[in-house]
Homo-oligomer: A and B are copies of this chain.
Amino acid sequence: MISPEDLMWMAIEKCREGLALGQSPFGCAIAFGDRVIANAHNTVVLTTDITAHAEMNAIRTANRQLGAIFLEGALVATTCEPCPMCMAALHWSRVSTVYFGATIADAAQAGFNELQLPAAELLSRGGSRLKLVGGVLTAECRDLFTDWLADPARHVY
């Protein structure tokens, strides 16, 4: 079984690929056991698709890879606490555990300051059994925002 930290490093590297393409600073990887089946960065600007957050792209890739809509047993590492769209999509996908690094407060400091509903609250209010675990490589995930902010060519979404 891949460790949460190793899966998060993959998401961080994918996020950096996105940064090099002028995309927003978010990455997300999905694994079953040792098998990583999806790793994606945000492509909202690249694909002209407002729904193309990193988690959404990773879920859709996983669905395609497996030919299945449900991902029971999957582990997810996402560089930032998911927004309500992504948190709900992860619930619908039935993944087992979601690890995140940076928080929505970190995202807000970088300018991503809308819909700040804590992911844990969405899950508890919605009665979800998905396991959500923060604090995985938080400093390294925060650095993604710092590096993105330092890039004069950055986009807003």
Type the 1/0 row for A81-105, where 1 means its CB is closer than 8 Å to any CB of B: 0011111110111000000000000
B93 touching A114, Cβ below 8 Å: no
Q: Determine if A67 is an interface residue (Cβ-Cβ < 8 Å).
A: yes
Q: Is A152 in the interface zone, CB < 8 Å from B?
A: no
Asked whether B85 lies within 8 Å of A114 as measured between CB atoms, the reply is: no
Q: How many copies does the complex hold?
A: 2
| Stretch from A5-13, A42-50, A133-141 that touches the partner | A42-50
Expressed in whole angstroms, the Cα–Cα distance for A44 and B93 within the complex equals 11
Which of A15-23, A29-37, A55-63 lines the interface with chain B? Answer: A55-63
Known contacts A50-B63, A60-B49; is-contact A88 B69 (Cβ 8 Å): no
Residues of B contacting A69 with CB < 8 Å? 44-45, 48-50, 157
A116 at the interface (CB under 8 A from B): yes
What are the 7 tightest A-B residue pairs by CB atom distance, in nearest-first order? A85-B88, A115-B126, A84-B88, A50-B69, A50-B93, A85-B89, A117-B125
Known: A63-B49, A69-B44, A92-B51. A127 touches B122 (CB 8 A): no
Taking CB atoms, residues of chain B closer than 8 Å to A70 are 50
Query: Does A3 sit within 8 A of B, measured CB to CB?
Result: no
Q: Which residues of B sit under 8 angstroms from A91, Cβ to Cβ?
A: 114-115
A68 CA to B88 CA, complexed, in Å = 24
Interface centre among A50, A85, A86, by most B CB within 10 Å? A50
By a CB distance below 8 angstroms, the chain B residues around A85 are 84-86, 88-89, 92
